[in-house]
Structures are given as structure tokens and as C-alpha cells.
Amino acid sequence: MADDTLLHIQELLENASNSLKTANAMLRSLTGVADVDHERLSTRAGSMASGPVSGKIIEGVFDGQNMVDGDGNTYPVPANYASKSKLVESDGMKLTITDEGKFIYKQIAPVPRRTAVGMLIREDGQYKVLSEGKPFRVLLASVTFYRAEVGDQVSILLPEGEAKWGAIDAVLPKHVADAAAKETVSATVTRRKKSDDGELTPSVE
């Protein structure tokens, strides 16, 4: 029964994949526009294969939300796993489909990372971090996990190359950042100027 279920799942995935490929091909023929980012990740996923892969193991690349294999097929990665593991766009992954039909993901080839800091915003109904002059999408599960709110200062992990997604690494709540800023301003305003004899002279406000 387990084998029949697994075969049925694989058949459904293959049918969905073929339908998606056909739709993409039709779209490209009509518009001449291809999903460059998707094809880039698919190419990287194809180059990761070290040899023949059984039907129960699939290798691919994380696109910020899903895993993309060498054929361009996408597999949904559990958002909680991606958030807690701090997966970064372009990370190499392996999907194992067990005999019971369970999908088990594992990070196998992390890409070099860099850190960026920005502010959490909400745009077009999606959470993003505005950093380096552009918005990077972040997973809702990450925002929830860190209890982040719009306006918070957020540190995100990014691949060294181009990216549309960021992985939340740390959050500085807005009220904490505001309090720190006020303290800095207060310290500056109340700073005493030294007189010629070295004594401190209170400044006039």
C-alpha cells in the first residue's frame, strides 16, 4: 500500500511538472519573457547532481520559498523549517521521499552568505525588509517566529550574488531602537564642554 501511494504521489508530481513546463513554454512563446531567476536556480540544481539519483531522492536549490530541481520542478519547503534553519536563496538541498510518503528536506550545500540590515515593511500584502535601497522578501513564518513588527530593524542573511529573498537572522524591535536613539541624543545634548582650565562647563539649552 505504501509503495502504491508513493507511486501515485510521484505520478501526480510528474503530471503537475509537465503541465507547468507546458504553461511556461506557452507563456515564453507568447511574451518572449522567461523567468530568469527560476532558470538560474534550476541550472544550479542540475549541476549539483553527483550521479544517478533514485526516485526517492531529489536534489535541488532553495529559491527563498521552495526547492527547485534540475528539471525546473518546484517542491514546497516547510516554512517553519526554512525559518529556523535560516535557509538562504540558492542553498543546495536534498528531498527524501520515504516509503511512507513523507517528504524530508535537508540542506546539503549552503552558499556563501553576507549580512544586511534594514527595516521591516509590508508591501503588496507581503513582509519585506528594505535594505541596500531595495526590498527583500522574507517568510511570514520568520516574521512570526521572531515576533517582528513593521518598523523593526531587521538583520537578514543574503547570498553573495543576486537575491530576491532574505532570511531573518535577528530583530531589533522598533521601541528598543527608538529608546537607544533617544538615549544617544540625550547624551549628546547634556554633554558638558570643557573650559580652558579643563573644568567641565554645563551647556545652555
Per-residue pLDDT, averaged over 44-63, amounts to: 67
Terminal CA-to-CA distance of the chain, rounded, Å? 82
pTM higher than the cut 0.75? no
CB 70 within 8 A of CB 52: no
Kindly report, residue by residue over 139-157, the tens digit of the pLDDT: 999 999 999 999 999 999 9
* pLDDT band, very low/low/confident/very high, at 50 (cuts 50, 70, 90): very low
Buried b (16+ CB within 10 A) or exposed e, 1-35: eeeeebeeeeeeeeeebeeeeeeeeeeeeeeeeee
Across the chain, what does the average pLDDT equal? 79
Kindly report, residue by residue over 157-174, the tens digit of the pLDDT: 999 989 999 999 999 988
CB 155 within 8 A of CB 115: yes
Residue 54, exposed/middle/buried by CB under 10 A (0-12, 13-18, 19+)?
exposed
The pLDDT of residue 198: 53
The answer to whether residue 201 scores a pLDDT higher than 80 is: no
Where do the H-state alpha helices sit in 32-134? Answer: 36-48, 79-85
Whole-number Å distance between alpha carbons of 116 and 155: 6
Q: Which 3 state secondary structure label does DSSP give 123? A: strand
| Contacts of residue 73, Cβ cutoff 8 Å, sequence gap at least 6 | 13, 17, 20, 60
The answer to whether residue 86 scores a pLDDT higher than 80 is: yes
Query: Domains in the chain and their CATH numbers?
Result: 2-109 (no CATH), 113-180 (2.40.50.140)
Kindly report, residue by residue over 6-46, the tens digit of the pLDDT: 666 766 776 666 666 666 666 666 655 556 566 666 665 55
The answer to whether residue 187 scores a pLDDT higher than 70 is: no
